[in-house]
Amino acid sequence: MSAPSSASSSSLRPAPNPRARIYTGTARNLARLARVLRSGGLVAAPTETVYGLAANALNADACAKIFTAKARPATDPLIVHIRALAEWDTLAHVNPAALRLAKAFWPGPLTIVLPKKDIVPALVSAGLPSVAVRMPAHPLFRRLLRLAGLPLAAPSANPFGYVSPTTASHVRANLGTQIDHILDGGPCTVGLESTIVDLRDPSRPRLLRPGAITRAQLEKVLGVRVLSAPPKPRAPDAAQLAPGMLTRHYSPRTPVTLHPRLSAAAVARGDATAAWVFTARPRTVAGKNIFWLDAQGDLPRVAHNLFALLRQLDEAGFTHLHFELARGSDGLADAINDRLRRAAARG
């Protein structure tokens, strides 16, 4: 990726007096952060997908702090993270199809929605009788889960609707004045939020949010077609079945326009004050406002770099961001383009 211009926006600079401390993953620090979680506090922590803002998932008061810190509406449910399959049965009514997916893809970037049990607070599920659960793969998050001895609710550790964080510094830049504790586990390996599948009715599974685990992979394990997400509720204040289903999400403050394919001619006709982002490094165009997500256009690397580049360009003073849509048939392109379309949506 080429470097951005030196101009920057003050809107996303780190807060003048951030109170959040960044911790390395030492045994002493992890024990301290586990105590924070057991006492009802918040800890931003790394997962393989994005950084999450964690709280005791069984404590409604603790989870309410997540909504306050993120300015998140109560209609958007939280994902509950577990360390072992034995914990899952305490939270949800688990069916055989869900178990097949869990054994195939957990620990990993897959979230499964099932009917919930009463132990899950209504706030966690946006008042719905379902709960979204996943088992993360990141070793530090798994150690934190073990030490805390609790299932942890952990949506992305950013202001609601903004670009998801993939490093500890991203979290501190946006939530540094709202939270006290950030566990640094390095850059997230996947870089996109988890795939979410609805298995409340195992005969009609639905893909609610695409991610690194693709529809084709889900269908191979389940042996049935995985349907698309149901239509969005018409009422603006209706509860969402799962996170990441809103039309506008993962959005920078700078306007975004999407293109099936970018070219040197398109850039030449365009605004020089805008940034132009290719999937792969272009051969016929160069300049300080030309960027790419991966030199070779490798989709896992494109996904890994997407949110970091969105944030970088949003802070760089460009008037507009032009992104080329990803191309590919393995399903990961769908996940990348899902995030880009929500980032580009206005209103």
All structural domains of the chain with their residue ranges: 10-228, 256-344
Token pair 């001619």 is found at 265
Calpha distance 213→135 (Å, rounded): 13
What span, in angstroms and rounded, lies between the C-alpha atoms of 72 and 240?
A: 12
pLDDT score of 347: 62
* Residue 233, pLDDT score: 64
Crossing angle of helices 332-344/299-314, nearest 10°? 20
Residue 242 has a CB neighbour count (10 Å cut-off) of 26
Residues of the chain with pLDDT under 70: 1-17, 233-234, 236, 347
End-to-end CA distance of the chain: 30
Q: If residue 89 lies in a helix (H) or strand (E), which one and from where to where?
A: helix 85-91
Query: Coil, strand, or helix at residue 33?
Result: helix
The CATH code belonging to domain 10-228 is 3.90.870.10
What would the two tokens of residue 110 be?
């897959």
DSSP 154: -
CB 111 within 8 A of CB 197: yes
CB 225 within 8 A of CB 207: no
The closest of 318, 320, 321 to 307, measured between CA atoms, is 321
For the entire predicted model, the pTM comes to 0.93
CA–CA dist 134, 147 (Å, integer)? 18
Packing angle, helices 27-38 and 139-148, rounded to 10? 50
Q: Is the dihedral of CA 83, 84, 85, 86 positive or negative?
A: negative
Dihedral angle computed from the Cα positions of residues 173, 175, 177 and 183, in that order, rounded to the nearest 10 degrees: -90
Phi, psi for 115 (deg, rounded to 5): -60, 135
Structure-block tokens of residue 274: 């805008």
* Spatial distance between the Cα atoms of 170 and 164, rounded to a whole number of angstroms: 8
Q: Which pLDDT belongs to residue 234?
A: 59
